[in-house]
Amino acid sequence: MVLHLSTETQRMIEERMALGGYDSPDALIRAALASLEEAEMFADYAPGELESLVEEAEESYRNEGGLSREQVIEPILARLQRRE
């Protein structure tokens, strides 16, 4: 397989490799793909959905005298546990 990468992508790969931990561009890309796979597996949120939920919680807190941490965080944690 031949990949054609933009100059910006090549620069990003080189910078990450310079920080250490990756022997080759292949190792870096495999790590990135593994991270992406993990994120997709555990993050069952549509783009922007989590940010929207946080904004909704903050707005509710301001307008209704506040919500407890449990009221905000517990539904999110329950959703993540169902994914495991």
Q: Tell me, yes or no, whether 55 and 74 share the same domain.
A: yes
C-alpha separations of 7 from 11, 35, 49, 57, 71 in Å? 6, 23, 32, 41, 46
Domain ranges, residue 54: 49-83
**Is residue 2 included in any domain, yes or no?**
no
Give the pLDDT confidence score for residue 62 in this predicted structure: 67
Total number of domains in the chain: 2
Q: Tell me, yes or no, whether 56 and 38 share the same domain.
A: no
Give the pLDDT confidence score for residue 42 in this predicted structure: 66
**Is residue 1 included in any domain, yes or no?**
no
The list of the chain residues with pLDDT below 70 reads 42-43, 61-69, 83-84
Q: Tell me, yes or no, whether 38 and 54 share the same domain.
A: no
